[in-house]
Structure 1
Amino acid sequence: MAWYRSYRPKKIQDLNISSVRESLERMMAAGKIPQSLLFAGPKGTGKTSASRILGAMLNDPANADLVDYLFFKKVAPKKLAFVEPNEESEFAKRVYDGHSFVVQELDAASNRRIDDIRLLRERINLPPSDGKMMVYILDEVHMLTNEAFNALLKILEEPPAHVVFILATTELHKIPATIVSRCSLINFRKASGKELKEALERVLKAEKIKFADEDLEKISLRADGSFRDGVKILEMACKDGKLDLESIKDLLASDNESHIKNLLEAVVQKDEQELLKIFGELRDNNCNQRDFYKDLFEFLHKDLLMNLGVIDGVAHYSIKIDQFFLKEVLSLDLNQDTPIPFLVLELKLLDIIERSKKNTPNLPPKNPPTNSGSEKKTEKIELKTKENKKEPADSKKKIQKTDLVGQDLWQKLIETFSADNFSLLTLLKSCKLDTISEELARIFVYYPFHKEQLEQIKNKELLNKAAREVLGLDMQFDFVLQNETVVASNQIQDSELMLAAKDSLL
């Protein structure tokens, strides 16, 4: 049997999250278990384990008199407090294994319709075949339909005396307020690093495996507050009676920190090409967005704490810059579904670079290029105009067609997409103009995926249309992939980016 099943808690006192354990122990001491409980929290934090323990406890012979008094209004026992279930009894073992008829576990995701709840309403009238109480555990209850929730509400308002409901969810905000108000809510937060380490230590001691604290810290960090995930990783790392993290180094390894540092440095240096290159690597490596965003927030927050002297260490950036990045990234909806991974963050960081360039003066590069015959000169376009030709009514949309620098033409062209096609605008901003004439614009592209997108027929048609309407030119576009680029980025100091941060924050 898998370790995470074998080493499930079997008593309330064994629950790993202290706040949950203390809440349930207070209920036990008071001799009061509600008929409707709501367990809310992330996956792997012990909701199902706690539910099974309560099911075993309510049906334990040692608590029979108190159950009769509490639920069936019989004579009060001398001791008005629940005791822990006997984990060695056959009945308790069946409950812990999920094989008991009196502790029923229902997946609300598969039984989410109103007809399923109506069927449940008929079932709950049947008395338990073994023990005194029927305990119904409705997992992922937030998946029920509105009609099913309404039907469940009626059941929770007047449940049979022999029934206890335990609703479990990972998304409390999706539960109707009417349901929440009928239940006693217990929040299962993510496990702390200390709680995870203690849980893993118990498993290793039971398996008689030696370990080092730093190894458990690495596993705890990767488990992200989930006991189940932590024990799974631990089991994979244990071979031949030894804890060997080398065997799961790929699982534990994370290049996120190095990517995060490079990403932020690209923003500080106002280097769009490097920024896009890093995002390309993240996509090529199928980097998990959720884990990356979590690591990004943790990195910035940790850097801020080091700046403030709360924790030891040398900060990478100033307080202002840490606050600036945190505020900007927190303003994003990082959970929205986009066809391109990391697109939301990519657009935001490109926007920060653009704003930074506008708000801070350009400084020369550290190593200014020397004058040479190969140095490119900006090309000008001489556009012929016909005399005595009347301008169309919408001529205000067109730019002057004489003595314009090629880069100005390109900038004017891509700005037309700001309102109509923001994704195309972002792709164009990531490119670099090479040459431009009345018939052809040669554009450097730095990432294969961007080249594929720009060469789609619909995007080329939009560009051709914009060139005709805005520039008055029937222009074609040639996108050339550059494998190796040298970008002369403007070097800026902390103080300068802080000015941009102030402008954004105020």
Structure 2
Amino acid sequence: MKALYLKYRPQKIEELDLTDIRETLTRIITSGNIPHGLLFSGPRGSGKTSAARIMAKVVNCESRKAIEPCNKCNQCKAVISGSSLDVIELDAASNRGIDDIRSLREKVMLAPSSAAKKVYIIDEAHMLTTEASNAFLKTLEEPPDHVLFILATTNPEKLPETVRSRLTNVVFRKANSDEIARQLTRVMKGEKIKAADSAIEEIAKASDGSFRDAVKIVEQLSLSTKYIKKSAVEEYLDQNKAQTPDLLIEHLGKGDVKAALTEVENLVAGGLVVKSFIDKLLERLKEALLVRAGLEGQALPAFAKDELIFLIELLMIARNEVSNSPLPQLPLEIAVVKFCDQKPKEEPKENLKEIGGDVWTKILSGAKEKDTKVEALLRAARPLGFDGKTLKLGVYYQFHKERLEVNAIRQTLEDIVAEILGGPVRVSYVLLSRPGNGSIIN
């Protein structure tokens, strides 16, 4: 049985669920001058391949009315069934070398066998080698009139600028909740499935803007019921939680190489897709790095700024090597070992229950050198204790407490304290009564 996301793949422009993509392709078609090369760029599951196949039908349809293919003529039927000799789909990940592109260049010169145009749909185009991209450039510069190239990619920035500049870029984005709901309505109507509005909202949130993932969730739930409730969606999502990088990040923050490698092995045993997992890691680490630079977000106090940069660099290298590795997880494991090898293992130099006057004076001086605003706020605070990981400060006014808890100020202070105490330190604040009565209010 065909998967629902394939069974209900859009077959007309009107069925594309991204509003701006419908409008863009409509303008291109009605202009009467379809470019010889299109670049469809955007996240996975956003409809790039479906749109490419629709465009292949549009240029070859024998009975096209206005912008839509008829889906009934021989050319349309051949594209839908995947049997068209003139619509060639290539996976650049498997056909990425210069010899593959040279072979393609030779075939491009041959006339279509029965259609008006030969259409080449090249998926994951960013996987082409530099040499292959350069070889392809000549064909893009002087294409035969009977050829249409459609390149699809999730990473357009990895394509050489010379290639991108010769293509008309159509940017796909993540679908919003209304667009996901539009697609699910079409699928559920065809399958005679019903769902509560709240259930559709939950599915839209869980799919993270991917049409494909949203339909897969509906398909799984429809195996047990024809009326999908919100509670059923929540239960399904709870049972199929995505593998998150949180525990691995925790082990890396401690420099615990054994625990980190064990976590990687556990994740792999659970069916980990290594590249996608590294992407999640990079996204989390990037947010923490931006917080270190003063932006809003969720911090990772266990990592100094230079450690975040080093780990991000290691993971970027690992991600690029996954495809060529005999064991997909090996580049990730190497990155883990390299990072933990340089992570300081010693306890903080001033591992005291109380922060003495000399240490507090150093902290104030360090704050004054880096940011006088931070130093001024600290003058209205006092150290309450230090357990080796967390420095607890008491402040006398709610306003000062709120200012100190702003991410940028918190990060500046934690960097200063880490330098003085010799290791990552988290700073927390409690509100005290006014000076003269040391009791804690909050």
Classify the TM-score, shorter chain: 0.5 to 0.7
**Residues 320 and 501 of structure 1 are in contact (CA less than 8 Å); yes or no, is this contact kept in structure 2?**
no
State the secondary structure of the residue aligned to 1:340.
helix
Aligned to 1:22: 23
**Residues 363 and 490 of structure 1 are in contact (CA less than 8 Å); yes or no, is this contact kept in structure 2?**
no
**Counterparts of residues 50-65 of structure 1 (less than 5 Å):** 50-63=51-64
Q: For structure 1, list consecutive stretches of 5 or more residues without a partner in the other structure.
A: 65-81, 306-317, 366-487
Residue 208 of structure 1 is aligned with which of 192, 215, 229? 192
**Residues 17 and 195 of structure 1 are in contact (CA less than 8 Å); yes or no, is this contact kept in structure 2?**
yes
Cα distance between partner residues in 2 of 1:155 and 1:211:
49
Residue 362 of structure 1 is aligned with which of 352, 357, 361? 352
**Residues 297 and 326 of structure 1 are in contact (CA less than 8 Å); yes or no, is this contact kept in structure 2?**
no
Q: Please, what is the CA RMSD of the aligned residues?
A: 4.5
Q: Which amino acid aligns with 1:492?
A: L
Aligned to 2:96: 112
TM (norm. structure 2) is 0.62
Aligned to 1:499: 413
State the secondary structure of the residue aligned to 2:88.
strand
1:253 aligns with 2:241: yes
Aligned to 1:409: none
Change in Cα spacing, 1:278 to 1:117, as seen in structure 2 (3 Å) is closer
Change in Cα spacing, 1:330 to 1:504, as seen in structure 2 (3 Å) is same
**Counterparts of residues 352-391 of structure 1 (less than 5 Å):** 357=348, 362-363=352-353
State the secondary structure of the residue aligned to 2:89.
strand
Change in Cα spacing, 1:217 to 1:129, as seen in structure 2 (3 Å) is same
Change in Cα spacing, 1:361 to 1:247, as seen in structure 2 (3 Å) is closer
Aligned to 2:336: 343
1:229-260 CA distances to partner (integer Å, 9 max, x unpaired)?
A: 33223212211534454784565325749859
1:190 aligns with 2:159: no
Change in Cα spacing, 1:257 to 1:208, as seen in structure 2 (3 Å) is farther
Cα distance between partner residues in 2 of 1:503 and 1:205:
60
Change in Cα spacing, 1:246 to 1:60, as seen in structure 2 (3 Å) is same
Residue 280 of structure 2 is aligned with which of 283, 294, 297? 294
1:46 aligns with 2:31: no
Cα distance between partner residues in 2 of 1:326 and 1:504:
10
Q: Which amino acid aligns with 2:316?
A: N
Residue 96 of structure 1 is aligned with which of 74, 80, 85? 80
Change in Cα spacing, 1:293 to 1:221, as seen in structure 2 (3 Å) is farther
**Residues 106 and 136 of structure 1 are in contact (CA less than 8 Å); yes or no, is this contact kept in structure 2?**
yes
**Residues 55 and 135 of structure 1 are in contact (CA less than 8 Å); yes or no, is this contact kept in structure 2?**
yes
Cα distance between partner residues in 2 of 1:342 and 1:146:
26
Q: Which amino acid aligns with 1:122?
A: E
TM (norm. structure 1) is 0.55
Residue 228 of structure 1 is aligned with which of 212, 218, 237? 212
Q: Percent identity?
A: 37
Cα distance between partner residues in 2 of 1:321 and 1:242:
38
1:143-162 CA distances to partner (integer Å, 9 max, x unpaired)?
A: 33344333322211222212
**Residues 304 and 415 of structure 2 are in contact (CA less than 8 Å); yes or no, is this contact kept in structure 1?**
no
How far 1:35 sits from its partner (Å)? 0.6
Change in Cα spacing, 1:173 to 1:364, as seen in structure 2 (3 Å) is same
**Residues 134 and 164 of structure 1 are in contact (CA less than 8 Å); yes or no, is this contact kept in structure 2?**
yes
Aligned to 1:177: 161
Aligned to 1:460: none
Larger Rg: 1
1:150-199 CA distances to partner (integer Å, 9 max, x unpaired)?
A: 33222112222121111222332332222111111122233344433432
Paired residues, number: 344
Cα distance between partner residues in 1 of 2:198 and 2:284:
19
**Residues 197 and 216 of structure 1 are in contact (CA less than 8 Å); yes or no, is this contact kept in structure 2?**
yes
How far 1:295 sits from its partner (Å)? 8.0
Cα distance between partner residues in 2 of 1:141 and 1:214:
38
1:299-355 CA distances to partner (integer Å, 9 max, x unpaired)?
A: 9979x99xxxxxxxxxxxx9797497899486333334245388389749966x979
Cα distance between partner residues in 2 of 1:504 and 1:40:
43
